[in-house]
Amino acid sequence: MPGNDTVPSGVRRGPQGNVHDLQEESVNKGPIIVIVEEACLSRNVLVKALRTWGFDCAVAESEETAWSALRAAAAPRVVLADWHADFLDCEEFFGRLRSDESLRDAFVMGGVPRGAVGAIRACITAGADDYVSRPYDLDDVRLRLHNASKMMGLSPRDPVFPEE
C-alpha cells in the first residue's frame, strides 16, 4: 500500500504522510483525529499538541478533503470540526456523517466559539458527541480526547495528564 496515496492534496497527514502509515498508527496508537478547520495559528498549535500526545491527525481545509480524509482513515476516527468554518455547514456535515453507515462509529466533536449563544445546543443537536470551546484550551482538548477514546472502547494506557 505504500505509494498508493489516494488522498487529495488538501489533506495533510501525520509525520509519515501516507495512507498506509496512517492506518498502521490507528491500530497502535488510538483514534485518528480528522481536523476540519481553516488554516490558522490555533489549528497549527492544536496539530502540534496532538502529535506530541501520540495522536495521528489529518487536516482538511475543505469539505471535499474532509470526506476524503474520513474515508481514507482506518477506524477509530475522531472528527473535530470548527463549527463556524467558512467552507462548511456543520449541521449538514454532521447529519451526513451520521447517516453514512461506514462512518457511524466516528466520534464527532464541534469546535464552538466561547460565549456563542446556542452554539453548543446546535452542535450537539446536529449530531456531535461532544464539543470543545474555541479558542482551544489544550488541557480541555486532551481530556475530551482521552474520554472519547474510552467511549469508543479503546483503553488509553497513559494517564490523561502524565507526570512531566
Domains annotated on the chain, with CATH: 33-151 (3.40.50.2300)
- Give me 70's grid cell: 474520513
d(CA 69, CA 161): 28
Position 75 scores a pLDDT of: 84
Q: What pLDDT digit, counting tens, does each position of 77-129 carry?
A: 999 999 999 999 999 999 999 999 999 899 999 999 999 999 999 999 999 99
Position 157 scores a pLDDT of: 74
Position 162 scores a pLDDT of: 83
d(CA 78, CA 116): 23
The model's confidence at residue 156, banded by pLDDT at 50, 70 and 90, is: confident
Mean pLDDT of 11-29: 41
The model's confidence at residue 164, banded by pLDDT at 50, 70 and 90, is: low
In 3-state terms, what secondary structure has residue 116? Answer: coil
pLDDT for 141 beyond 80: yes
Q: What pLDDT digit, counting tens, does each position of 23-63 carry?
A: 434 433 579 999 999 999 999 999 999 999 999 999 999 99
pLDDT for 19 beyond 70: no
d(CA 70, CA 28): 18
Residue of higher predicted confidence among 96 and 16:
96
Q: Are 27 and 73 in contact (CB under 8 A)?
A: no
Phi then psi for residue 149, to 5 deg, are -60, -45
